[in-house]
Structure 1
Amino acid sequence: MKPAVRLAQIIVDTPNWEQNPVLVKEVKKIRQLLGVSSDKCSGQMGAPQGYQYKMYRGEELVFEGTHKQMADYANVSVTTVYNRCATGRVVNGLKITRQKWEEVNE
């Protein structure tokens, strides 16, 4: 049986699988094999989640959205968006910043 199928079978079909140490160990092993951290993960693997990205030209806000929306808008990869944000690098007069969603919604 394929690992992804077995993982889905355990999580969906087995009630209270978290209470069974054998199944917990198997799920952990399969998730590690597949590179999945938990059943709650979403988006691109390794991509920063929970941030609102903003692009500025000088002091003017040009665009805001998720890292994927920002990448599509700027016609660059999501890795480039993340790196420009992390380093604070300004390219062609555009600066990208990010803020946690919790801080945005306060």
Structure 2
Amino acid sequence: MKLEGQTFVGLNGGPHFKFNEAISFIVNCDSQEEIDYYWDRLSEGGDEKAQVCGWLKDKYGVSWQIVPSNLNEWISDTNPEKSERVMKALLQTKKKIDMNALMKAYEG
């Protein structure tokens, strides 16, 4: 399988090696529409209990993070008040991220 020109291989490792959250794929999105698009498609048939703070597991058990492209910038801002507001808003997210809510938290 190729993603963004990079080849990935998934192997069935038998009972000794199983998928877990140690590996996840990040999908950086520039709009709420993009977040909605990837969330809806990747979460279809997946584990609903594993959907929190922008994370989901697809129907194969693979973990994905569907996040705004500038999330890292927001949560690592040199202004601790801004970064704390964003982190607090992010941790209140039940499933899919609301990009506008995070943006409002960042802007104060």
Based on CA coordinates, which of the two structures has the bigger radius of gyration?
1
TM-score (norm 1): 0.24
User: Using CA pairs below 8 Å that are at least 6 residues apart, which structure has the higher relative contact order?
Assistant: 2
Higher helix share: 1
